[in-house]
Structure 1
């Protein structure tokens, strides 16, 4: 990558947005070099308003208890509806951290500008349609230009995708299937998420036919099932291992992990891992509350006027989980997440063709508040890995999932060092 020949190694696009300001803060936290007198990380913020971007940098300096940020931190004025301005931004960056969503509306112009101007791009999209469409439209061109376009590099897909790879690497045998269970821990003030995520979900579920058509047109051959087939749980079930209720996770995790497993199987000849993703809740009352919220959502999202109501009143229709104001600092300080992975597989001397799995493993990924603390950590460490671990990346560039791009890199190590902890809970032969 041409980081040494461009003014900035990292550019945070959309830094004045709700999530972007936290990403800018996380970039500013990075140690510029292991050596005290080493070169500083060259970075900039980008967006439509110089005034707002300046205010973001002032707030970042205040939170880090610094008089000011280094003068070298740049400000780039650009607008997602102005392709020329996106080109100018991309020309100045080695890696663009795109925080402007919903990506189905605003993501493609940034991807295109980055590819055509030789910059790599990382986003935090949880929108399968956008992620998969960018692969089919731009993978070959990105490879020609030698740049990396890596989507879904925040919460929850980085913990899920890298968590499956971590589980595979820690099993002393062949991993063939994984179930993940996401537990969100909120403090006494409860859980609140900015409505930008809600809007992405509304538009995504409202246009599922487009995603089904895209997948049908891709004509992909099924990835082989190795070993015993993973049994799917009921829509609402009780997880005995965690003593909690669970239901299928409706986000991008399954799509991202399955794309990673396809890439590793087709390009690196690695054994594909079956995957299923769930969310846990502790009480039956929470299950009922979420059921009603889900039914309202699925009913309203089918119609144009319903989608308008969902977008206009997120707090009402999400039963208080989403808000245009987002979480308070207290809510973020009190919140955390745990991903628990239950894997099964085979020891080296045990056949995968006719026998039941004889290896089990349980791993976890733990971290701080998911949306605005863990996501910036994941996104920034993915960008740093893209800058630093160039020899371990897939050769040539292209459009990748996090697991496909970073399976051979030190990303998990970096995440561990920055507050997102990967660990083995148990491993046994049965």
Structure 2
């Protein structure tokens, strides 16, 4: 293969990778792309199955053999394209070898990891090398954390004034078309989450090394609600998820402050349910799961039995197509700050409500997002910062057309401005 492909989907035989292959002809239209993995016959089958689903002949799509246990094969794959779309997790175990090979080859890398130790570890270890190679390495390009990151970007762009705080309220709407399956997520996602919980202590060391400059003491402070509460304007009960999306958004805010001298936006994210009981029970379940994940024996039991510990919401089979297609989510952003004419010494008087929504958030939308980020890197790198580096998506894509790209795709992200008010 003498001419580089524009993109390669690595891990194409995995649950998410197969869906990425189905979405690739739409998102990567006009670009050259291939698939990569360990088993040629399985890769051929993925292309055949995906082609049948979408009514396209994918038999001519290039196949590249690459295995994370065989470093030369990963290096050869990275050398064959301009950007690797990495769908092979858990990234804690399988991610670094791909990142390293991509940087050395001068190939961009995007993935769908939400694993904080991997994300921050790669930033600490490879950021300056990636900059030197003019290469972008961008994680959390799926449901974690494109909606949160681009939701904040969208809110700020539509806020006429200076933003002080932004709160994100996430809701899922479930419609089980196939009553025989309750699964929302594949067991691979569950395993990644358990390992992230089990090794949460590693983050302190990583963050001490990364956060060399403190953020300013912003006033007025955003109030943090640790327990379940009712949010009246949404008529739902919410509790905070003080990690995940929040960490990524705040990484972006830190980079804006350090590199561009921009005032950081204070951010919190919440997940909500109709019932107070469901909200409290979910919060307690997460707490007990975190505790169990700290104990090696219990951790393995958790990993091996996702269906039991999640009441069927996660399984080794993953969600069926009918239920994926019917699942919907929305994130509502309440953004507060100062009007254009207000001095920042006054109390903020302006509030903006925005929203984004989509179908099939965990897989369909995730794959559309990661493919779209790869396309944007190829098409609009001149609008991205630092000429490379290991970056969060909100910082990397803030000045690109990623929001518009996601909005034009079938079942992509719909961005809306709901209401602007002044007190």
Q: TM-score, normalised by structure 2?
A: 0.95
Aligned counterpart for 2:174 among listed residues 178, 183, 186: 186
Matched, 1:322 2:314: yes
**Structure-1 residue corresponding to 2:27:** 30
Q: CA contact under 8 A between 2:241 and 2:271: conserved in structure 1?
A: yes
1:227-266 pair list within 5 angstroms: 227-249=219-241, 251-266=243-258
Change over 3 Å in CA distance of 1:30–1:378 after alignment to 2 = closer
The residue number in structure 2 matching 1:304 is 296
Superposed displacement of residue 238, structure 1: 1.3
- Aligned-residue offset at 1:227: 3.6
**2: CA distance, partners of 1:133 / 1:332:** 32
Name the residue aligned to 1:62: 52
Query: 2:416 corresponds to which residue?
Result: 423
Q: Specify the alignment match of 2:327 in structure 1.
A: 335
Match of 1:36 in 2: none
Once residues 114 and 369 of structure 2 are traced to their aligned partners in structure 1, the CA distance between those partners, rounded to angstroms, is: 14
1:42 aligns with 2:35: no
1:202 equivalent to 2:194? Answer: yes
The answer on 1:162 being equivalent to 2:150 is: yes
The whole-number CA distance in structure 2 between the counterparts of 1:373 and 1:351 is 44
| More displaced 10-residue stretch of structure 1: 181-190 or 357-366 | 181-190
Measured after TM superposition, the shift of residue 251 of structure 1 is 5.0
Deviation at 1:406, TM superposition (A): 0.5
Instruction: For 1:423 and 1:412, locate their aligned partners in 2 and report how far apart those are by CA, in whole Å.
Output: 11
Do structure 1's residue 52 and structure 2's residue 52 form an aligned pair? Answer: no
Asked whether the equivalents of residues 183 and 318 of structure 2 are also in contact (C-alpha less than 8 Å), the reply is no
Q: Does 1:19 align with 2:16?
A: yes
Match of 1:104 in 2: 92
1-side partners of 2:191 and 2:22: how far apart? 24
Please tell me whether the aligned partners of residues 28 and 60 of structure 1 are also in contact (alpha carbons under 8 angstroms).
no
Q: Is 1:359–1:429's contact at 8 Å kept on the other side of the alignment?
A: yes
Distance 2:288 2:127 in 1: 37
Number of aligned residue pairs:
416
Give yes or no for contact 2:161–2:340 (8 Å, CA) kept in 1: yes
SS in 1 for 2:194: helix
Q: Show the counterpart of 1:272.
A: 264
Pair 1:222–1:416, CA change in 2 (3 A): same
C-alpha distance in structure 1 between counterparts of 2:91 and 2:198, whole Å: 15
Distance 1:200 1:194 in 2: 11
- Segments of 5+ residues of structure 2 without an aligned counterpart are none
Distance 1:129 1:27 in 2: 29
Report the CA distance between 1:221 and its aligned residue: 2.2
C-alpha contact (below 8 Å) 2:28/2:371 kept by paired residues: no
Structure 1: runs of 5+ lacking an equivalent? 33-39
* Mapping of residues 327-366 of structure 1, within 5 Å: 327-353=319-345, 355-366=346-357
- The answer to whether the 8 Å contact 1:227/1:357 transfers is no
